[in-house]
Amino acid sequence: MDYIKIRFTNDLDELESKLDQTLSGMFHSMGPSFSFSRTTWKPQLDIYETMDKIFVMAELAGVDKDDLELEINPRAVRIFGKRTPSPPAGNGRYRLAEIQYGHFERILYMRTPINTETVSARYKDGFLHVEMEKTPYPAKQKVPITVE
């Protein structure tokens, strides 16, 4: 059985991301509208597969379907969009702000190619469910070698 290869980041991207998260976390406590980077959070994912299909489930509570996009190619899946914050009621102020808002993106690189024509996606109760059919690898072919 082939498994899915997930590429997170290289070391430099990871260091920059951690710095952005630290700074954003400091300012986010003042109010959810503070942010330094376009990608401010990453949704949690579950990925599982059968012999012929790959399933991805993304937790996207509070994300409006119109603010959610899914791009597929034979080797990658990109889930991206934004979650818009709700302002506090009246003249209220935040005592604690842990819910992450703003833009998000997850890119999953597939080890097994997928059939982009048969992908299905549905959004229900804050979860995005994506079902993808694996494409079999083409059969190996022997190439005749000629002598000059």
DSSP output for 42-106: ---EEEEE-SSEEEEEEE-TT--GGGEEEEEETTEEEEEEEEPPPPPSTT---S---S--EEEEE
Residue 73's pLDDT is 94
What does the pLDDT profile of the chain (148 residues) look like in tens digits? 555 554 544 555 555 556 666 655 555 455 444 444 455 799 999 999 999 999 999 999 999 999 999 999 999 999 999 999 887 778 888 888 888 999 999 999 998 999 999 999 999 999 999 999 999 877 788 888 999 8
Residue 18's pLDDT is 63
Buried b (16+ CB within 10 A) or exposed e, 85-116: eeeeeeeeeeeebeebbbebbbebebebbbee
Domain ranges of the chain: 11-85+99-134
Return the CATH architecture of domain 11-85+99-134.
Sandwich (2.60)
Residue 8's pLDDT is 45
